[in-house]
Structure 1
Amino acid sequence: MISTKRKMGFLAAAFMLAAVFIVSLIGVSKNRSSNNSIVWDSPWEVTYHGKTSQPPSLAQYRPIQGEAPLGDSLLLETTLPTRLSDYSALHIRLFVSTMDVYLNDEKIYSYGQELLSEGLIVGSGYHRIELPAGWGGQKLRLKVYAAESGAFDIMPETTILPNQMMGAPYLAEHISVSFCIAIFMTLFGAMAMVGGIGAMGFAGYFVRLPLIGFFSFVLGIWTICYTHEIQLISLNLEFNAILEYAMLYLAPISIELLFVSMRRKKLSGWRWYGLVSLPIFNGIFFAGTTILQLAHVANYPQFLLLFHIYMVLGIVFLMVPGVVYSKKDGLPERISDIGFLLFCLSCIAELVVFNLSRVTPGVDPRGNPITSWGLLVYLMSLLVSYVIYLQRAIVNKTEKDLLSSLAYRDALTGLYNRAKCEQIFDVLNGIGSDYAVTSIDMNGLKKLNDTYGHGKGDEQLQAFAKTLSEAFKGIGTPIRMGGDEFLVIVRQEHLNDMETAFEKMRVLQEEASQVLPIPLSASYGTAMRSEVRSTAGDVYRLADDRMYKMKKESKDTRED
């Protein structure tokens, strides 16, 4: 059994490694940038609803005030630069839109029209387009169609790449802080889930660890998808979009289950039933939308408004006094409450930035790490809260085990007492296998107490208990029933070893008797369950009768 100090040390080391990991990744993301790629932000001609304009910066341009409707189209035209023979690809970032790419009126790339016509989900992300030889100075045209309303809130971003930076290498050069945090959350979440589920078999207070891991893993995956850096491993935009929405709809369940775990036995009435209902309703919503998505009946994005309404109602309920926050909360709950509050504030800030992006050209809501930092802070608060909770739980369990041990142990001899015997009898009454009960009564203890005093009598009892324990070690369970009465329970697999144990007990008694006022001796009787076919109490009574019969026949009886 690992000591509490070692467990705390292990967790502290895990925190330090996590911090080093995150700082290292952020440092890598800051230092790894390329000066070779060319962001082609101007000049562009933009045609929208028959009107053509030439914005000084495409990133700062908005074709319409408000949301562009579903199915709306946009034509972007530019002349590619010359004298860039070492550059052979375009990297175009597109937001929930389909796209056709033409070079001098020849279509060289197409994405999303088939998905849109079949009613399937159209993803967002980076498109890699290889350019043919001699592309310098040619006219590039992008025909973009909105697959969702608001698709033109973020204009397409075009980057011209050198040969060595095509595809994933380009993304690897532009790792974001959000991605670093997400990778940590995903890896930690997977380890916490696996380790926590395994540890649950040893103690109930590990239940919260896999829930924290589930929360960390789901939101880590969602962040990787949301920032489009999932394309480091998957170039399937449809799959990436489905995974992003699936993790988004699944994420509240992980948080709600954490609250249920932390508030169990602390809430009652409508507050408790309301809290328990949240993950149930969310689970039904997730299962229903997933079935509709997989059956191609409806897509995840169609339920986004309903999800937002549910989230607002859920947060309002959680803010009700006594549900999440209570003046009676202990330190672990208060730490997690603060983390949850900061996380909610980061989500509000993210929503503000997202809505600003709809009215402010050039603001990319997916490019800021506000929510990612909020997630990381909340995760750290959960871990700190859990460490404190775990430490207290281990201390409480240790105290309970100690008290339980004292309750079932005889203070003088250290053997189990009558209360433990009754507990074992209850277990024996529920099994069908054979067992033996031996009733033992020490000889001469009353005379010893009368002659030498109870102090010597206690020493005699302790010496006898020691010989009994050593003789039946690994064979049976010795118990002191009270006074000079003892009992041994032997299970079926060790019945053949009983004679050896009694012989060893006699040898040990002879050795111990050399330093005692009177020799150790005892009368005993054994009964088997197979003889009685009744309760353990009946087996004990038969053994007791046989013990008294032996005692009467013993010469020591005359000395009592």
Structure 2
Amino acid sequence: MKFRSIQKTGIAFFFLALLFTGFFFLGYNDRITKSTPNFLQLTEGFTITKTDHSTTTAPLTSSGVGIIDEGETVSFSRTLEEFGFEHPCISYHSIRAIVNIYLDDKLIYTFGQNYYDTNTTVPNKINVVPLGEDYAGKELRIELTGTMRGSFSGLSPLQVGTRADLMTHRSLHFRASFFTGIFLFTLGLILLILSPYLFIYHNHDIRLLFSGLISLTLGTYMLCYYLIIDGLVCNPVLNTILEYGSLYNIPTAFMGYLMSVYTGKAKKIFTGLFITDVCLFLFSVALHFLHIRRFTSYTVFLHSISLSECVLVVVLIIYFYVTTRQEAEQKNMSSDNIFLVGIILFALCAFYDIVKYNYLVFFSSSGEAYAELNGTTVGSLILVSCLLVSYLFFNVFSTNYDSLQSRIANLAYTDPLTGLANRARCEQMMSMLSEEKGAYAIISLDLNKLKQVNDTLGHHEGDRLITGFATILSDCFWDANLIGRMGGDEFIVVMIEDRALNLTKRIHELYFLINEWNHKETKFSYSASYGYAYSYEVPHGSAQEVYMLADNRMYEMKREHQSKTEVTAHA
């Protein structure tokens, strides 16, 4: 009951934290927006010209230019007025296009032609171009040329301001996705670093590895989608490779995680989907490097596959949850619930972004330049949080379950009176020795006069005699591989490899300890008969045969000294 209370409290705290995060972004939105540096966004007054020389005058936000394919050109121009900025720059976000910017028909900036000429995918770019000091009254013309089929659609807004203000505004505008991407990227690296340790020491569990990959791919995709990697390292090609590489592998990481979580039929299904995603990624990379089809031209196909897999995964998870709900073992049920919530919420958020993106590309007059990852940002935070909480609960349940299993095993293989190994554990040990064929020695011991103590002093004193002798054995053979009670007054010690050397000396130490205990004991005396045997004495025999040899030698000693009252007198 106590754990259930902690569980409910943890889940409640988790969802309250998510709500707080959402209200934090919403509540401080106005305050952050007001602190945005001065800049101008130019959308009106442009003349838009396409390849067929058709000309329209429309806002950039609803230009209606449609999809621009390879070789097609669209340009937009307007006369610039005085903006009042010191060292003004214009900023324009181009998408897989060759960009030429003119001021009064004088080329002042170009981007993408060298990539296109070398058959390299032209990357997306935030083009920041200084206007100089005498720009007022001149005509600005920006010409965009498509570099592939479905290169881009629509026209991005044009912004004017100082370079620092333009970059600061962009960072503030996408602050939620920026910080979420940094968080997920960093968390993914940490989880990947920790995963080998947990794999080695936690039953080869790989779910943390795939949790790290999910977090890393989501974070990388967000940072690259908003060209943050390019802004940090000034390498647009690297930004493009990481963007599409992470986008292709987000479904792969998901399937890997599901493959590591589920068992049986579910595991086979998710393993098949994981292998399929890996093959699709490698196939697209091969086509790209063979110059058959570019890596960036599968966006619609990838969206279709992702949506299909997303729906399939949700249906399968719900199905497997319902079918296994009534089974006896439900140790992971609470973690499965949290994981299921995260998957469904992320799927809904990602579905919203994918649908919105394709609507902007194919049906809207605005175009894909206005597509953002708002849904994916929120969904990613929820999903990764659910993954971590789910993993936490899984570990708690697993730890409790493993502890219970360990206690059950201890009860099954431990003598309840002495705490030593019981007969079942001793026989298990001898079976293992027989299989491994290593060097070992077995000592068989018999506690003398147990029946006499039981008959004269009572079974309570007899139990004290047994437990005391068990303590003597534990103190003497502290480094033994096994100390066990075979039953009644019979005990066994197993020592492997180097520990089995010089047993005669160890027996003398045993008698020395027995004498010490006898000096303190007033009601009875400890004494024992023993016999030991080495594995090499029975070259092709089992450990059971070695034990029988040691046992026979013990009985020989017992018969030899049966007329004596104290075995310790012969130490």
TM-score band by shorter chain is 0.7 to 0.9
Give the Cα–Cα distance (whole angstroms) in 1 for the partners of residues 476 and 553 of structure 2.
21
Query: What are the equivalent positions in structure 2 for 1:197-276 lying under 5 Å apart?
Result: 197-204=196-203, 206-265=205-264, 268=265, 273-276=268-271
Query: What are the equivalent positions in structure 2 for 1:79-118 lying under 5 Å apart?
Result: 79-82=79-82, 84=84, 86-118=86-118
How big is each residue's C-alpha offset from its partner over 1:246-269, in whole Å with a ceiling of 9 and x where there is no partner? 11111111111222233213xx3x
How big is each residue's C-alpha offset from its partner over 1:505-553, in whole Å with a ceiling of 9 and x where there is no partner? 3233223333353210111122222333333223222222222222222
Q: 2:550 aligns with which of 543, 547, 558?
A: 543
1:350 aligns with 2:318: no
Deviation of residue 34 (structure 1)? Answer: 3.1
Query: What are the equivalent positions in structure 2 for 1:158-197 lying under 5 Å apart?
Result: 158-162=158-162, 164-165=164-165, 171-197=170-196
Query: What are the equivalent positions in structure 2 for 1:115-514 lying under 5 Å apart?
Result: 115-132=115-132, 134-162=134-162, 164-165=164-165, 171-204=170-203, 206-265=205-264, 268=265, 273-320=268-315, 323=319, 325-329=321-325, 330-358=333-361, 359-362=363-366, 365-431=370-436, 433-496=438-501, 498-513=503-518, 514=520
Name the count of aligned residue pairs.
547
Contact between 1:353 and 1:365, CA under 8 Å: does it hold in 2? no
Distance of aligned partners of 1:24 and 1:539 in 2 relative to their CA distance in 1, 3 Å threshold: farther
Deviation of residue 21 (structure 1)? Answer: 9.2
Contact between 1:63 and 1:152, CA under 8 Å: does it hold in 2? no
Contact between 2:65 and 2:365, CA under 8 Å: does it hold in 1? no
Give the Cα–Cα distance (whole angstroms) in 1 for the partners of residues 427 and 438 of structure 2.
18
Identity among equivalent pairs (%): 26
Secondary structure in 2 aligned to 1:233? helix
Give the Cα–Cα distance (whole angstroms) in 1 for the partners of residues 352 and 16 of structure 2.
29
* Unaligned ranges ≥5, structure 1: none
Deviation of residue 403 (structure 1)? Answer: 0.3
How big is each residue's C-alpha offset from its partner over 1:24-61, in whole Å with a ceiling of 9 and x where there is no partner? 89999873753233323343221123122332x32232
Distance of aligned partners of 1:89 and 1:557 in 2 relative to their CA distance in 1, 3 Å threshold: farther
Secondary structure in 2 aligned to 1:127? strand
Secondary structure in 2 aligned to 1:35? coil
Give the Cα–Cα distance (whole angstroms) in 1 for the partners of residues 230 and 376 of structure 2.
20
Distance of aligned partners of 1:277 and 1:516 in 2 relative to their CA distance in 1, 3 Å threshold: farther
Contact between 1:551 and 1:557, CA under 8 Å: does it hold in 2? no
Secondary structure in 2 aligned to 1:429? helix
How big is each residue's C-alpha offset from its partner over 1:207-247, in whole Å with a ceiling of 9 and x where there is no partner? 32222222111111112222333333233223222221111
* Unaligned ranges ≥5, structure 2: 326-332
Give the Cα–Cα distance (whole angstroms) in 1 for the partners of residues 212 and 263 of structure 2.
19
The alignment's TM-score, normalised by the length of structure 1, stands at: 0.87
How big is each residue's C-alpha offset from its partner over 1:416-445, in whole Å with a ceiling of 9 and x where there is no partner? 112222222233334454222111111111
1:533 aligns with 2:539: yes
Deviation of residue 464 (structure 1)? Answer: 0.3
Contact between 2:531 and 2:550, CA under 8 Å: does it hold in 1? yes
Distance of aligned partners of 1:18 and 1:529 in 2 relative to their CA distance in 1, 3 Å threshold: farther
Give the Cα–Cα distance (whole angstroms) in 2 for the partners of residues 555 and 325 of structure 1.
68
Give the Cα–Cα distance (whole angstroms) in 2 for the partners of residues 559 and 509 of structure 1.
11
Give the Cα–Cα distance (whole angstroms) in 2 for the partners of residues 425 and 27 of structure 1.
70
1:524 aligns with 2:544: no
Deviation of residue 478 (structure 1)? Answer: 1.3
Contact between 1:121 and 1:299, CA under 8 Å: does it hold in 2? yes
Distance of aligned partners of 1:182 and 1:389 in 2 relative to their CA distance in 1, 3 Å threshold: same
Deviation of residue 373 (structure 1)? Answer: 0.8
How big is each residue's C-alpha offset from its partner over 1:286-314, in whole Å with a ceiling of 9 and x where there is no partner? 12212333444431233334433433443
Contact between 2:156 and 2:370, CA under 8 Å: does it hold in 1? no
Q: Which shows bigger deviation, 380-389 or 316-325?
A: 316-325
Secondary structure in 2 aligned to 1:87? coil
Contact between 2:260 and 2:267, CA under 8 Å: does it hold in 1? no
Contact between 1:205 and 1:390, CA under 8 Å: does it hold in 2? no
Distance of aligned partners of 1:23 and 1:290 in 2 relative to their CA distance in 1, 3 Å threshold: farther
Contact between 1:90 and 1:131, CA under 8 Å: does it hold in 2? yes
What is the letter of the counterpart of residue 560 of structure 2?
E
Contact between 1:22 and 1:180, CA under 8 Å: does it hold in 2? no
Give the Cα–Cα distance (whole angstroms) in 1 for the partners of residues 295 and 229 of structure 2.
18
Distance of aligned partners of 1:437 and 1:26 in 2 relative to their CA distance in 1, 3 Å threshold: farther
The alignment's TM-score, normalised by the length of structure 2, stands at: 0.85
* Root mean square deviation, CA, Å: 3.4
What is the letter of the counterpart of residue 485 of structure 2?
R
